[in-house]
Structure formats: structure tokens, C-alpha cells
Structure 1
Amino acid sequence: MSNKPLILWFRRDLRLSDHPMLQAAVATGRPLVPVFVLDGQTQAMGAAARFRLGLGLAQFGGALAAAGSRLLLRRGEALQVLQGLVAELGAAGVYWQRMYEPEARARDAAVKAALRAEGLEAESFAGALLVEPWQVATGQGGAYKVYTPFWRAVSARGIEAPLAAVRALPAPAVWPESDRLEDWGLGADMRRGAGVVARSQRVGEAAALARLEAFIAQDVGDYRALRDVPAEPATSGLSENLAWGEIGPRTIWAAGQRALFEGAAGAEQFCKELVWREFAYHLMYHNPEILTQSWRPEWQDFGWRGDNGDAERWRRGMTGEPFVDAAMREVYVTGRMHNRARMVVASYLTKHLMTHWRVGQAWFAEVLTDWDPAANAMGWQWVAGCGPDAAPYFRVFNPAGQAEKFDADGRYRRRWIAEGQARPGPEALAFFQACPRAWGLEAGQDYPAPVVNLAEGRARALAAYAAYKEKDASDDGDL
């Protein structure tokens, strides 16, 4: 058995350090065959996510080559591809790192059952989270629904130190055939925006580790004070790398804890933001419906609009609200959006424009290179007011007020909005290079009038909320 290869099924875990699955595989002493499978679930991802995945796979393939290995690429449904590879290689089995969204769990369970039924090894490993979703529970043994006690529970645990990087992978005697990455066309749907967005990506494990080191050395001290100011380079930028597993969460946690021990003022808040991601996965694992429906059942029939013309102006960054439009254009140029801006644009869509949070959730899934299914769903539901531990619906972010508070000098808005500037900067102009030609947008055009008066939009949202609550109370009284 020691000469039979193991297949290593990589997904959103494109790294060599702090990788329990990889460490366990190397410890067997067997030849190892890394593979990435382009299956239906992967192909269903949004355009920006598939584009960024392609960049990550190219970089990871190079890292594996430096470790004496390769990344094998195959297209097809996962079980059939893996079974075919097992037969082709005479492999002993398949190892992989766990995923937690319901479709992935169902797929992985089917793969594990089928392989084990054939007498093969089929093992899944931790590595995507600090704590597995079933390892932390309330005093009553249930799942957490509120962040603060979840944070206390996770931070009180002894988080294991990150594992060392694997430096070499034993190779098989003969490598199977592989697809060519360029033939997959993972970035095709980005069209002309691909070249623009690519300039803002820092791809691969080495880039992620360098990014973390620089943040801890230079910026973590001011993180709490400046993290909500979108014009400041005050955040780590690691969401992109974390989303694709180019860095492990334990590596980030360990760096944050060291900074906290050394007295960095913003280190605890930085660690809290990492655990906020954990909270999203905890919720998704225990309540997978959070991805598709309002988490609070009393919100299921709230009168949000479906997709509409106002939402299309929102998608295009043409609402006439500069802070909202700046954020929506930022994502077209960089593939990411500052977190404060995400809250503002989400509130504007769901409250000022009375549009369903799932419209926004779907758009973020299409355009974010740091797309994360759990964080995306929880974030939208938190802002909309229908999620766990959510901001109340009557909390309506005023884009003008948010701009006054967090972009007082207008740098963020000027950075991304070209209209009205005599000499707009390259990033503001890049939006017009990246957005679809069909939109017919040009930098020299007039800036649009607002879709809705902010005061009127807020009043409409609050009136709808009050009417819904009154109806809900009346319905309860009829029971």
C-alpha cells in the first residue's frame, strides 16, 4: 500500500503552509498527486470569482512545481473524475480539506461514501476555519446566534499553532494527463474588465504572507481607529487570499495574537474580524437556509422589490449618490470593496431602494474576487435587518452622512468618480475601461441625478417596516 499514490483534491485551499490535509498526506510517505476538478459547482461561481480562481490555480501550480510536484487539472463531476484518476493511478484513495456550504457538503459526502464503498481511503480534514462549526456550542449545546458570545467562546479556546509549510511532495513515477488551464477560460466572462481587475490582485501564498507581514508591521496598530475610513490603506487586504485558501486562518490568528501580546492597539479588533468570518460559517453550517432565505422567519413576506431598474442603476454605480457609486465602481476596478462601503451600498439597496437583499447578494457573488458564500449571505442579511444578530431594520445608513463621517475630505469619492473632475485620476477612469461597453458610459458625461431623495427613501423604508410590523402583530392576534 505504501507505493500506491494518494490523490490530493484541492479546492479553496491553494497553499502549502498550515495545511493539515497536506501534512497528513506527506506523512504517509506515498506518492502524491494534487488535482483540481472543474466541476459544476465551480463553474456556477460568479465571473470575478472564477477569474480570480484561475489566477490562483496558476500561482499554486508554480508553487507545487517548486516543491517537486504538479497540479493536475481535470474537468467533470467530482466523483467521476476522482474515480477515474484512482483507476488510472491505482491510487490508495483521496484526501481533501473540508468545505461547509450545503452543496459542497452533499457532494463531498457522496464522494466519501462511494470511495469507501470501493475499499479506498477517503479522508477530509480541517484547515479552512479556526474552529470546526460543531466544536463550539452554547451552554445548552446549540449553535450560537449572536456574535459577541461566539467571539468569547472562540477566543477562549486554545487555537492550535499553524503548521509549517510542506517543502517537498513525493511524486508518482508517471504523471497522468492534465487539462491546460488556459483552455478552461475561467476569466472569459470578465471580458475587458479582466485586465483592469488583475492589476489589483495579489495572488498566491507568498503574496498573502507578505501582505500579512506588512500589515502587522505597519498598520495593525491603527486598525481599530482607521478601518472604517475607505480612503486609508488601513486594512490587511487578506480577504482575497483567505477566500481562496492562499493563507490559513490560523496563520492570521497567530500573527494577530502576537501583535496583541506586543501591545498593538488594533490587534484585538483585527482578531475579532477574523472570528466574524468564523461566525458566518458557524451560522451557515447549522442553518444552511441563510444562503437563500431570510434567516428570521418573520421577514419572509416583507415587501422588498425584486430586481428593478433602480437596482440596475445601483449595479452600474450610477445612483447619483457619490459614496454609493464610488463603492460600486471600486469593485469594478479592483474586484473588492471596502467593508464600510459594503454596508452603505447594501443598506441603500435594501432600504432606500426597497430591493430584496438577494439581488445584492447575487451581484456581489458575480463581481467580488474575494467572494465568500457564508460572509456574503450573512453580511447582506445583517444590513437588511433579517439576519442573525442583525442591525435593526430601522437603522438606515445615510450615504451622505456616512461620507461626511468616513470620507470627510472626499478622497474616496474622488478616487472612484471621474465625472465633474477636471483631471480625474487613473482609477476613476479605469471604471469606464472595465464596465461593459453595452452600458455606454463615458468619463466625460454628466453625473446622474439621485435615484431617490435620501430623506424620502428613508421615510418610505420606515413606513414599509412599520406597516409590516403592524400587519404581523395583527396576524398574530388572529391566532
Structure 2
Amino acid sequence: MEKSPIIMWFRRDLRLGDHQALTAVCESGRPVIPVFIHDDIVAGHGAAPKFRLGLSVADLARSLDAKGSRLILRKGSALDVLRKLIADTGAGAVYWSRLYDPDNRARDTDVKAALKSDGIVVQSFAGHVLFEPWTVETKTGGFYKVFTPMWKSVRDNHVPAALPTPGQITAPDSWPASDSLDDWRMGAAMRRGADILASHCTVGEAAAASRLGAFIAHRVQSYQKNRDLPAVDGTSRLSENLTYGEISPRVCWHAGWRALHDDKADAEVFLKELVWREFAYHLAFHTPRIVHDNWKEDWDAFPWNTDERLAGVTSWKQGRTGIQFVDAAMREMYVTGTMHNRGRMIVASYLTKHLLTHWKIGMNWFADCLIDWDPCSNAMGWQWSAGSGPDATLYFRVFNPVTQLDKFDKDRAYVQRWLAEPFSKPSATALSYYDMIPRSWGMSPNDPYPDPVVAADVGRKRALDAYETRGF
């Protein structure tokens, strides 16, 4: 057993550098069998996330090939696949990086128990977060339910230096059979939009490192102001890469601190955003219901609209609510698989407040369209906006999408980038939306721009009346 191979099960840690599990495998001196498993959790991904995950898996496979290793692909139940690989290879151990959402935790708990009962060594390692959820506590020993105290608690915590990329990954004497990634057809649900979406993706470990470097060098010093301007390239855009583990949060954290020490004061805002991501995992670990149900249980009685077929909901999904900020943001997401954070707040507020529609409908639509989809961050973000989640400021977050546009897109550069109908000469990005969407939607850039489904002032009053009636 001391010389038997170790299976390195990759999941949302699709990189070689600063990888605690992979480093431990390589330091053992034993043969390493890297594997990625297309199980029920992967199968349940939405169209854009699954397509983007496939690109990341392909990039990891190339990186392993360059090291004289290879990525074994198998499809099926994780436990069944691992047991079959163990039987095929004589592997005596399985290593992986921990995940913190309830679905992955439940699977991993079952797999670990079953393999240990088979006599297999199983080790899991941190890797997707800076601070594992059980290591961060309030002064009274509980978990944090409000972000700012958590930020103050962890701001000066020690974060170990990032680990180097292993110099050598020992190969087994013979390799087990592998599926073909092409046969998995991970982009099938994208249909005709796959090529356009791919052009907006920044894939892999090397690309993620370059993206971080460019942000720290050129944009972090103006981050506090520019991150709110959707027409400006002012954010890191690293959520895409962090989602698949193409870059580690530790690498981002240390880069942010170096920038702060170099007198780039706005780097602290970037560090806060990294901890906001941590907050999502913290809550999903301690209160798993946040991923599927109202975090504040008294919201279970709120009279949300739950009918996705409602005309207003369809208009919201298709980016034709007649509210320019909402529509531009929804089309940006459909084309690029991402949405500016200011846009995310606006579209979520409009759906849950102006349209009084359940946040789950929005959360599920995002889960189908976002290449940076993450089960914890997506759920927390939607509940934060809806009022049913943590850090909710119910009345303040009934955003007026018209005044917000005047404030953050004064010259309408963002709107012109993504909306075609209001302009005589639409931009190429606005027109690309029509090459992405299903033909059954029957939309054309020559259509008249629609009147508002719900006007900004009318929707706000309706939302506030509903909260007051329900005693919120």
C-alpha cells in the first residue's frame, strides 16, 4: 500500500499551483492518478456553467499532459467510479479538496465513509476558501450572520503563502481507460450560442494569473469607484476563475495585500470582496438552507409570485422589461455568461421587488446562464437582494433602476453596448445577443423598444406596500 497509486480527485480546484491536495499527493512519492468525474452534481449544472466547466477540464488536462501526467475522465456515480478505478489500478488512497455547499458535502461524506469501510485511505484538504467555515467564530462561539463583523474578525488573520506548482507528478506504470471529453458534450445545451460565449471566456490557470496581474497593476487603485460603473473595465473579473478553482483565493489575497502595502488603498475593497465570497461559504456551511430555502424563515409566508410563465418574468429573462438598466444587464449575461455586479443588484431587485417574484426563479435563471455560477454565492446574492437573506436592508434595496442608470451610466455607454432597439446604429455586442437567443423568442433588433412591464415608481410602491402589509 505504501507504493500503491493515489487517486487525485479534481472537482472545483482545476489548477496545479497552490493546490494542497495535489502537493500532498506529489510529496508522497507515489504514482498519481488524476481524475475528474462527471457525476449527478456535474450533470445538474445549467447550460453555461456546464459548458464553461468543460473548457476548464480541458485546460487542466493540457496542463497535466505537459507534466507527463494525464487526466482520467469517468462518468457515473462518484463512489462507483472511484471504486472501479481503485479496482483497475490498485490505488490505496483518494485525495480531494473540500467543498462546502450542502450537495457536495453530502456526497463527499457518503463517499469518504464508504471508501474507508473498503480499507481505502481518504484525505481531504482545504483549497476553495481562505478560511474554512468552522475556523471562523464570533466572540461567543457562534457563526457570523452579518458580514462586517466577519470581515473585521478575519482581516488580519494569517493566510499561509501559496504553494508552488509541483515540479514532478509521478505517473503510474500503466494508465486506466478514460472517457473522451468530447463524448460528454458538456456544451450541448448551449446550442448555437456556444461559440459566442466561448469568445467571452478567460479559461485556465495561466489566463487567471494574467488576469489577476493586470488587475493589480492597472485597475485596483481605482477599484472603489470604478467597480460600480458597468461600462468601465474596473473589476477583477476573477469570479469566473475562482469558481472553477483555476486560481486560488490565497493567491488573490496575497496579491491584494501586496497592493495595499504599495499604497493602493482601494485594494482593501478588493480584499473585502474576497471575504464576501467567504461569507457565502460560511453561511452555506452553517445554515445549508440558504442554498434552497429562505434564510430568514419568516419569509416563507411572503406572497411571492412563483409562476415562471408570467409575462413579466418572461420579459425579465429575455431582457425586454422596458427598463434599460435591467435589460442591458440581462443581455450582457446571456451573451457573456457574466454580469456586472451593479447590474446583478438591479436585476435582482427588479424581479423580487418590482415584480414581486420569488428569488428562486432568478437564482435558477442565473444558474443556467452564468459562467461564474457558484451555488453558495448565487444563493446568498439573491437572498441578499430579495430581503430574505443575511445583511438584508429591505427598504433601502428597492433600487430604482432609472435613477441608478443615471448615477452609474450617465452617458449610456453600457446601455448602448447591450441594447439594440433604442439606437439607429446598434453596437456589435448588442447585435450578438440575437445570435445567441433561441429563435422561438422571436426578437429582432428592429423591434420597437418595449414600454416598462412595471414602471420604476409603481414597482417600488407596490413592494413597499407588500412589506408593510406583511409586517416586515
Q: TM-score, normalised by structure 2?
A: 0.98
How far apart are residue 394 of structure 1 and its match?
5.1
* CA-to-aligned-CA distance 1:114-163 (integer Å, 9 cap, x gap): 11111111111001000000001001111100001100111121111111
What residue identity is the alignment partner of 1:367?
Answer: C
Corresponding residue of 2:393: 391
Corresponding residue of 1:219: 219
Corresponding residue of 2:463: 461
How many percent identity over aligned positions?
Answer: 54
Structure 1 residues 393 and 292, CA gap change in structure 2 (3 angstroms): farther
What residue identity is the alignment partner of 2:333?
Answer: V
How far apart are residue 235 of structure 1 and its match?
0.4
In structure 2, C-alpha distance between the alignment counterparts of 1:47 and 1:198, rounded to whole Å: 13
Corresponding residue of 1:132: 132
How far apart are residue 425 of structure 1 and its match?
1.2
How far apart are residue 468 of structure 1 and its match?
0.5
* CA-to-aligned-CA distance 1:181-215 (integer Å, 9 cap, x gap): 00001000011111111101010000000000010
SS at match of 2:155: helix
1:314 to 313, 316, 340: 316
Corresponding residue of 1:431: 433
> Are 1:94 and 2:84 an aligned pair?
no
> Are 1:329 and 2:331 an aligned pair?
yes
In structure 2, C-alpha distance between the alignment counterparts of 1:118 and 1:43, rounded to whole Å: 27
- 390-399 vs 201-210, which moves further: 390-399
SS at match of 2:135: coil
1:417 to 399, 416, 419: 419
Corresponding residue of 1:200: 200
Taking the TM superposition and a 5 Å limit, the aligned residue runs for 1:18-417 are 18-306=18-306, 307=308, 308-393=310-395, 395-417=397-419
* CA-to-aligned-CA distance 1:11-49 (integer Å, 9 cap, x gap): 110001110001100010000000000001110011111
How far apart are residue 391 of structure 1 and its match?
2.4
* CA-to-aligned-CA distance 1:193-246 (integer Å, 9 cap, x gap): 111111010100000000000100000000011100000000011100000000
Q: Which runs of 5+ in 1 are unaligned?
A: 473-479
In structure 2, C-alpha distance between the alignment counterparts of 1:295 and 1:40, rounded to whole Å: 25
SS at match of 1:312: helix
How far apart are residue 296 of structure 1 and its match?
1.0
In structure 2, C-alpha distance between the alignment counterparts of 1:118 and 1:332, rounded to whole Å: 46
In structure 2, C-alpha distance between the alignment counterparts of 1:460 and 1:284, rounded to whole Å: 31
- 437-446 vs 214-223, which moves further: 437-446
In structure 2, C-alpha distance between the alignment counterparts of 1:225 and 1:420, rounded to whole Å: 28
Q: Which runs of 5+ in 2 are unaligned?
A: none
What residue identity is the alignment partner of 1:429?
Answer: L
How far apart are residue 2 of structure 1 and its match?
3.4
Q: Is the 8 A contact 1:227 1:235 kept in 2?
A: yes
* CA-to-aligned-CA distance 1:287-309 (integer Å, 9 cap, x gap): 00001111112211111111222
How far apart are residue 437 of structure 1 and its match?
1.1
Q: Is the 8 A contact 1:384 1:393 kept in 2?
A: no
SS at match of 2:74: strand
Q: Is the 8 A contact 1:384 1:391 kept in 2?
A: no
How far apart are residue 393 of structure 1 and its match?
4.0
In structure 2, C-alpha distance between the alignment counterparts of 1:166 and 1:309, rounded to whole Å: 54
In structure 2, C-alpha distance between the alignment counterparts of 1:166 and 1:182, rounded to whole Å: 28
In structure 2, C-alpha distance between the alignment counterparts of 1:211 and 1:265, rounded to whole Å: 20
SS at match of 1:68: coil
In structure 2, C-alpha distance between the alignment counterparts of 1:327 and 1:453, rounded to whole Å: 17
In structure 2, C-alpha distance between the alignment counterparts of 1:460 and 1:223, rounded to whole Å: 35
Q: TM-score, normalised by structure 1?
A: 0.97
Corresponding residue of 1:476: none
Aligned length: 470
List, as ranges, runs of 4+ consecutive aligned residues in structure 1 with deviation greater than 3 Å: none
How far apart are residue 67 of structure 1 and its match?
1.1
What residue identity is the alignment partner of 2:458?
Answer: E
What residue identity is the alignment partner of 1:390?
Answer: A
SS at match of 1:34: strand
* CA-to-aligned-CA distance 1:44-88 (integer Å, 9 cap, x gap): 011111000011011110011011111100000000000000010
In structure 2, C-alpha distance between the alignment counterparts of 1:346 and 1:247, rounded to whole Å: 28
Corresponding residue of 2:445: 443
In structure 1, C-alpha distance between the alignment counterparts of 2:458 and 2:117, rounded to whole Å: 62
In structure 2, C-alpha distance between the alignment counterparts of 1:212 and 1:296, rounded to whole Å: 36
In structure 2, C-alpha distance between the alignment counterparts of 1:136 and 1:421, rounded to whole Å: 51
* CA-to-aligned-CA distance 1:369-392 (integer Å, 9 cap, x gap): 000111111111111111111122
Q: Is the 8 A contact 1:2 1:28 kept in 2?
A: no
Corresponding residue of 1:477: none
SS at match of 1:191: helix
How far apart are residue 168 of structure 1 and its match?
2.4
What residue identity is the alignment partner of 2:439?
Answer: R
How far apart are residue 442 of structure 1 and its match?
1.1
In structure 2, C-alpha distance between the alignment counterparts of 1:261 and 1:116, rounded to whole Å: 46
In structure 2, C-alpha distance between the alignment counterparts of 1:192 and 1:9, rounded to whole Å: 32
How far apart are residue 107 of structure 1 and its match?
0.8
